[in-house]
Amino acid sequence: MKSKRQKTRKILLLAAMLLFPVVLNYLSPYLVIQGGFEGVLAGSGVVFGGLFVSSLVFGRAYCGWVCAPGGLQEACANIVSKPTGRRQNMVKYIVWVPWLAAIVLGFVSAGGIKEVDMLFLTDGGISVTSIYNYVIYFFVVLLIVVLSLTLGKRSFCHSLCWMAPFLVLGSLLTEKLHTPRLRLRADASQCTHCGVCSKSCPMSLPVADMVKQQSLFHTECILCGSCADICPRHTIQLTFSRPAGRLQEVPANHQPEAFSGRAIKQ
């Protein structure tokens, strides 16, 4: 049975998914480039900046709790919930760097930011209002659904999301600066390495190994709290705290140890 926290999270994600046609332009990777070449900081550019700032306090919780594509992917995971391969993670950075360069080039060629327009090319504040917008929306949804059903849980987050790197950068910064933010903490002495947390992770992370190694930070962790809520030993907590573990990620394809039936000795 799902915890109250996970029920709340699922409702928020469902609401975000239903609002996707409204908010599409505010998450658009294209409009921010088009606006850049006209010297206009479009709504999506402001949102991307806001995501970076939010990650300094909430890490990647945006992805886990209120992201529209995230909600769509978790709905797809009810149909196909195979784990996602680790190699996908790097793809988004390979796409992100030239995309960011195109935005910078646009503003440089336009002579800087001359205007901030949250409603740039968004009539009445609603993104999908014309056939043209419907077609774009349809293809975005199709891409997310196909990736989720073929490559695994939240594979769009892992491989293509242009928003994730902003949140990862903020999260990494807080790890380096040791500033308090929303984080996972765990008492490894309580863990029986049953692996239930790893199975429940929507980002296919090797949570049991992360607990064992006391390395709870992972750039792909979206702080959804599923692992904390499902652990029968209440080993993991989602808390506001400073970093405690090492800034070293446990590989996602790390082979977990077999269930030992007793607490792991430290």
Say how many residues touch ligand SF4, by CB under 6 A.
27
Q: How far is the CB of 39 from ligand SF4 (least distance, A)?
A: 39
Taking the complex as a whole, the smallest distance from the CB of residue 232 to ligand SF4 amounts, in Å, to 6
- Encoded tokens for 67: 């992201």
Strands (DSSP E) along 45-148, which ranges?
115-117
Nearer to ligand SF4, 103 or 144 (CB): 144
**Pick 133 or 159: Cβ nearer ligand SF4:** 159
User: Quick one: 45 or 229, whose CB is closer to ligand SF4?
Assistant: 229
Question: In the numeric block, which tokens belong to residue 66?
Answer: 């209120």
- In the structure encoding, which two tokens stand for residue 103, read together? 């935005």
State the DSSP H helix or E strand holding residue 2, giving kind and residue range, or none if neither: none
Binding map of ligand SF4 across residues 136-175, x = CB under 6 A, - = no contact: ----------------------------------------
Nearer to ligand SF4, 39 or 256 (CB): 256
Asked if 196 touches ligand SF4 (CB under 6 A), the answer is: yes
Query: Can residue 12 be called a binding residue for ligand SF4 (CB under 6 A)?
Result: no
Distance of CA 213 to the CA centre of its chain: 23
Kindly provide the b/e burial profile for residues 120-133, where b requires at least 16 CB atoms within 10 angstroms of the residue's own CB: bbbeeeebbeeeeb
- Single residue of 34, 192, 213, 215 touching ligand SF4 by CB under 6 A: 192
Closest CA to 163 of 231, 63, 38: 63
Whole-angstrom Cα distance, residue 18 to residue 41? 26
Applying CB under 6 A, among 40, 207, 250, 252 the residue interacting with ligand SF4 is 207
Residue 211 touching ligand SF4 (CB under 6 A): yes
Return the residues of window 220-249 that contact ligand SF4 according to CB under 6 A: 221-227, 231, 233, 235-236
Name which of 32 and 184 has its Cβ closer to ligand SF4. Answer: 184
55 is an interface residue for ligand SF4 by CB under 6 A:
no
Which two tokens mark 153? Answer: 């849980």
Q: Would the CA dihedral through 160, 168, 149, 74 be positive or negative? A: negative
197 binds ligand SF4, rule: CB under 6 A: yes
Give the CA distances from residue 113 to residues 87, 92, 119, 200, in Å, rounded to whole numbers and listed in that order: 37, 26, 16, 44
User: 168 or 236: whose CB is closer to ligand SF4?
Assistant: 236
- What distance in Å separates the CA atoms of residue 100 and residue 95, rounded to the nearest whole number? 9
Among 12, 194, 237, 254, interactor with ligand SF4 by CB under 6 A: 194
**Residue 41 three-state SS:** strand
Residues at the interface with ligand SF4 (CB under 6 A): 184, 191-197, 200-203, 205, 207-208, 211, 221-227, 231, 233, 235-236
